[in-house]
Structures are given as structure tokens and as C-alpha cells.
Chain A
Amino acid sequence: MRRGLKKKIRIIFLNSAFFRNPVPVAALSIYPVIAAGYSLQNAVELSLLFLFLSVPVGFLFCLIGEMIPLWVRPAAVLAASAVFYLPAARLLESMIPGAVAALGMFGPLMICNSLILSRANVYAPSHIGWAVAADTLGCAVGFALVICLTGAVRGLWLSGSVRAAEGGVSLPFFGLIFVGFLAAFLQWVNRRRTLRTGKRGGRP
């Protein structure tokens, strides 16, 4: 592979996974994080499900996305997502037995995950395979990071030595505030990076 392409792929991956992580930055796929991300167990299961679902959908739409007219593409993406949910759930069940049942309604809700859908609709059809692969894996890693962090913190609060906040912390409002602070942290990191590259005067 050409060296320039390798560098670009690396940048795409890092952006989706960390620096422009779509969950805090673009508020995509917020619902699973705030509603279901209150324990580490949930978080790991949901991240695996996300990975198993987004890779085939992204791959499919990279191949045939251009051929589908614009007005029918959202419906096609949703249909494809639903179809690929079954093997993904089966794969998750075989890795962690009892996971799909434990997730309750949040498992099937992954079908309409806004991050998967938006990437498949807009990004996958118009980019080359390597870019789509890097972006999809990056999004999966980014989502996993955010939801696992949220799940760990809230799970710790709920069960740890800090006097249990029973219902409160598992409610969505706390997740939203937590993701907000993550977004602020990311902004700070990005600002430091711009300052540093500005000082160096070179490419990031």
C-alpha cells in the first residue's frame, strides 16, 4: 500500500476513535450510552454488538451504496441493518452467553443506531474500502471507549463504597452530563493539538 494512503488511513482511524469521536462531538449514538451505559457489563456487550453490526453494514454499502438512489438509501440501510442484526446477535451470544437477553430492549435498538446509519448512508458509499474500514473500526473503538468509560464510572458509583445513589445515577440525565464533560475534555485536547501544531508550523 502506498505510504501516503497508510498515513491517511491512520488519521481517519484516530479521528473516529479519539479526536473527533462522534459520540461526544456529534452526539451520535447517544441513546445507548446514556440509557444503557450504567454498568460495565452492559457497556462491553453493547460495544461488541456495535462492532459486529457496523462492519458488515459498512462493507455492504461501500460496495453497492452508489447504486442505490439517494431517496431510498436510508430505508435500504435500515433494512440491511435489521438483516445483519441476527448474525451479530448470534455471534455475541456465542461469545458471552445470556448477553442478548440481559440487554433487553437495547440490543435490538442497535439496529437504528444513528452512528451506524449515518456512516452507512453518507460516508460508506462515497469512500474507498480502506477508508470505510478504518472509519468503521474507528467508530466502533470510539463508541466502545465512551460507553465503557460511562458504564465503569456509573457502575462504580452505584455499587461502590460511595453511598449508593440508587436510581439517580443510572438515569439518563447523569449520562448526558458525563458525556458533556467528555466532550469538553475532547475540545480541550483538540485545542492543545492545534496550538502545538500552530507553534510547530507543520502538519498534524
Chain B
Amino acid sequence: MNLTEMKPPFIRGETSVASMMRDMLFALTLLLALPVVRYGPRPAVAAALTVLVCVLCELLFTLMQTKTTGLSDGSAAVTGMVVALLLPVNAPLWLPCAAGAFAIAAAKAPFGSTGRNPFNPAAAGLAFAAVCWPQLVFSYAATGSGPLPLFGDCAVQTAPSPAAVLKQGLPPNILPFEMLWGNFAGPAGATAVLVVAACGLYLFCKRVAQWEITACFLLVVIVIAALFPRAVFDPLSSVKYELLSGSVLFCSVFMVTDPVTSPHTTAARCVYGLLSGALVMAFRWFGAYEQGAVFAVLLSNAAAPVLDDLVFRFRGWGGELADA
């Protein structure tokens, strides 16, 4: 018998980083279904290209940094999918690729890849795209544009998204049913609200995403939307339109719950959710672009370690159940 030496423990729990990333990838792929049905295979092609670019960037940087190829976790693929899903369907194909390349090359790899990045790479990539090419990032195809060409530029009629309409202070003119199923102008994956909510529930049940952050985030958004409507309508409509427009729900499920960039203690997570919700509404009111969620996420990421340290300072460095 050829017996090996090994240190305990000899069994492990089933969750690993790779399995968590696979769950997220599954949820994100589900979000591609409705855009593909409406606009043809172009959204899937864009997503595939972005994922390819992100994975290649990660490979390149891992080679440079550690001289080995380490592609064991799927976080680069998840970043690529999130970036592709938050850009318009009719965006030229190099746009999500550029955003994805920036996300990995400037916001993730220089800090040490998975687990060490202080900022959400997808949010950073989107912020870069929004600042450099604002017309391309915020011009969405009108509904009913039919199947878009696979490669090459799309010359389709664009329509203002509900977020843009709200920013001008007018109530958006969309049926609630259309809003639920995402049949309006908006980012590729963030419009189908029901699917986003279902993916969110799936991720919470599998404990891949933290529900406390999403709950606090949405709570603050709802409260501020009810108290300060941006157009002339009643609080309930204001809440409805604020939640269903832009990328707020998508960010609340996929971006703000990223375990690496959010605080690691429960109390700090709740405060972080409140903070990022308040920042999102602030950006919506006073920001330069119609959607400010990614900038709010980046700012909250900067505050996350501070929140953790504050919790430890209050609670003592041990934890609540320190007894004999």
C-alpha cells in the first residue's frame, strides 16, 4: 500500500470558490435569455466576447505575476458577464470588451486578483466606459427593434430609457407589465426585473450572495424614492419607477453583494447596504449620468474596510460569543 502523508482536516464542506462562481455564472446566463429572444443572438455574442477578453487578460496577468497559469476560479468570467449585461444591446462589440479589459487589467489584476481587489472590477470597468464613451453607454435601442446584426455596428432607432426620463423630471410612459418583463429601453440584462429577482433568490438560498446587503440597499432606495419623488407622482409610483428603471436591482443583487469588496461582518454589511443605497439615490438626483449605481458601488467599496474596523472597535476584536 502506497500511503500518503497529509495534514488534517481530511474532509471539507462542498462549497468552494469555484462552485460559488459557477452558481453566479448560471444566474447571469439566465438573464441573457430574454434579450436573446427579443434582439437575436447579438447579446449572447457580446457576452461571450467579453468573457473571452476578461479570461485572456486574467491569464496574461497571472502569467506575468506568478509565472504559472492560474485560471481555477471563474471570477473573470463572472466579471465579463456582468459588464456585458449592463451595457446596451446595440453597443458596438468593442465597447464591452474594452470595459472588461479595463476591469481586469486595471481594477483586479494589479491588486492581486481574486480576494485581494478592493474595488468591484465590473463596476470599475463600467465606470470607465461611462466616463469615456457616455453616448455609447447610455443610448439604448428602442423596443421592437427586432433582431440586431450579429457583428458590426447597429444603426437602430434609440429611445430614452426610463432612467433618463426620470432624470429630466418626467414620469416614464411605460406599462407596469412591460416594466416587469423588461420590454423597454435599458441595459441588456438589467431590464427583466422578475428574472433578476428570481436569480437573486437563487443566489441567497445558495448563500453565494449576502441578503443583508441587498435588503438594506433596497430599503434605503425605497424610502428615499417615496420621500423624494423625482417627478410629479405619488410615492408608490415613484418607488415603482425608481426600482424598475436603470440598473438598481441588478446592482443590488450582483454587484453590491460581492463578498470580496463588501464588509465581512454582518453589522458592517447592513451599514454598507444603507450607505450604497443612499449614494445611488444621490447619484440619481445630482449625478451627471442617468444611472449612477456603478459609481455608488465604487464609493461604498472604498468605505468597506473602514466599516469592518469600526465594528471590531465597538465590539472588541473577539466576536460576540467569547466565553469559556
**Direct touching of A and B (C-beta under 8 Å):** yes
**Which residue numbers of A lie inside 8 Å of B, CB to CB?**
163, 165-169, 171, 173, 177, 180-181, 184
Report B-chain residues with C-beta under 8 Å of the C-beta of A167. 131-132, 134
The listed residue (B94, B106, B110, B131) touching A168 by CB distance below 8 A is: B131
The listed residue (B94, B110, B128, B132) touching A166 by CB distance below 8 A is: B132
Given A173-B131, A180-B110, output 17 extra A-B contacts at Cβ < 8 Å. Answer: A163-B94, A165-B132, A165-B133, A166-B132, A166-B133, A167-B131, A167-B132, A167-B134, A168-B128, A168-B131, A168-B132, A168-B133, A169-B132, A171-B131, A177-B106, A181-B110, A184-B110
Closest to B106 in A: A177
Report B-chain residues with C-beta under 8 Å of the C-beta of A165. 132-133
Interface on chain A toward B: helix, strand, loop, or mixed SS? Answer: helix
**Distance (Å) between the CB of B311 and the closest chain A CB?**
30
C-alpha spacing A169/B106, complex, angstroms: 14
A-B pairs with beta carbons under 8 Å apart, 19 shown: A163-B94, A165-B132, A165-B133, A166-B132, A166-B133, A167-B131, A167-B132, A167-B134, A168-B128, A168-B131, A168-B132, A168-B133, A169-B132, A171-B131, A173-B131, A177-B106, A180-B110, A181-B110, A184-B110
Report B-chain residues with C-beta under 8 Å of the C-beta of A173. 131
C-alpha spacing A180/B94, complex, angstroms: 25
Give the size of the chain B interface in residues (CB under 8 angstroms): 8
C-alpha spacing A169/B98, complex, angstroms: 13
C-alpha spacing A168/B134, complex, angstroms: 9
* Central interface residue in B106, B132, B134, by most chain A CB within 10 Å: B132
Report B-chain residues with C-beta under 8 Å of the C-beta of A168. 128, 131-133
Report B-chain residues with C-beta under 8 Å of the C-beta of A180. 110
User: Which of B116-152 touch A at CB < 8 Å?
Assistant: 128, 131-134
Closest to A181 in B: B110
Closest to B102 in A: A177
**Distance (Å) between the CB of B7 and the closest chain A CB?**
33
Q: Which 6 A-B pairs have the closest CB atoms?
A: A168-B132, A165-B132, A168-B131, A177-B106, A171-B131, A169-B132
**Distance (Å) between the CB of B295 and the closest chain A CB?**
11
Report B-chain residues with C-beta under 8 Å of the C-beta of A181. 110
Closest to A157 in B: B132
**Distance (Å) between the CB of B312 and the closest chain A CB?**
29
Closest to B130 in A: A168
**Distance (Å) between the CB of A161 and the closest chain B CB?**
13
**Distance (Å) between the CB of A179 and the closest chain B CB?**
12
**Distance (Å) between the CB of B108 and the closest chain A CB?**
13
C-alpha spacing A168/B126, complex, angstroms: 12
User: Which of B134-189 touch A at CB < 8 Å?
Assistant: 134
Report A-chain residues with C-beta under 8 Å of the C-beta of B131. 167-168, 171, 173
Report A-chain residues with C-beta under 8 Å of the C-beta of B134. 167
**Distance (Å) between the CB of B175 and the closest chain A CB?**
36
**Distance (Å) between the CB of A45 and the closest chain B CB?**
25
Report B-chain residues with C-beta under 8 Å of the C-beta of A177. 106
C-alpha spacing A163/B128, complex, angstroms: 15
C-alpha spacing A167/B110, complex, angstroms: 25
C-alpha spacing A155/B110, complex, angstroms: 24
Closest to B110 in A: A184
C-alpha spacing A180/B106, complex, angstroms: 10
C-alpha spacing A79/B48, complex, angstroms: 60
C-alpha spacing A128/B52, complex, angstroms: 57
Closest to B107 in A: A177
Report A-chain residues with C-beta under 8 Å of the C-beta of B133. 165-166, 168
C-alpha spacing A19/B293, complex, angstroms: 41
C-alpha spacing A47/B120, complex, angstroms: 36
Closest to A173 in B: B131
C-alpha spacing A181/B94, complex, angstroms: 23
Closest to B94 in A: A163
**Distance (Å) between the CB of A81 and the closest chain B CB?**
34
Report A-chain residues with C-beta under 8 Å of the C-beta of B128. 168
**Distance (Å) between the CB of A177 and the closest chain B CB?**
5
C-alpha spacing A166/B110, complex, angstroms: 26
User: Which of B93-115 touch A at CB < 8 Å?
Assistant: 94, 106, 110
**Distance (Å) between the CB of B288 and the closest chain A CB?**
10
Closest to A170 in B: B132
C-alpha spacing A195/B127, complex, angstroms: 39
Closest to A188 in B: B64
Closest to B132 in A: A168
C-alpha spacing A168/B95, complex, angstroms: 14
Report A-chain residues with C-beta under 8 Å of the C-beta of B110. 180-181, 184
Closest to A178 in B: B106
Report B-chain residues with C-beta under 8 Å of the C-beta of A163. 94
Closest to A177 in B: B106
**Distance (Å) between the CB of A181 and the closest chain B CB?**
8
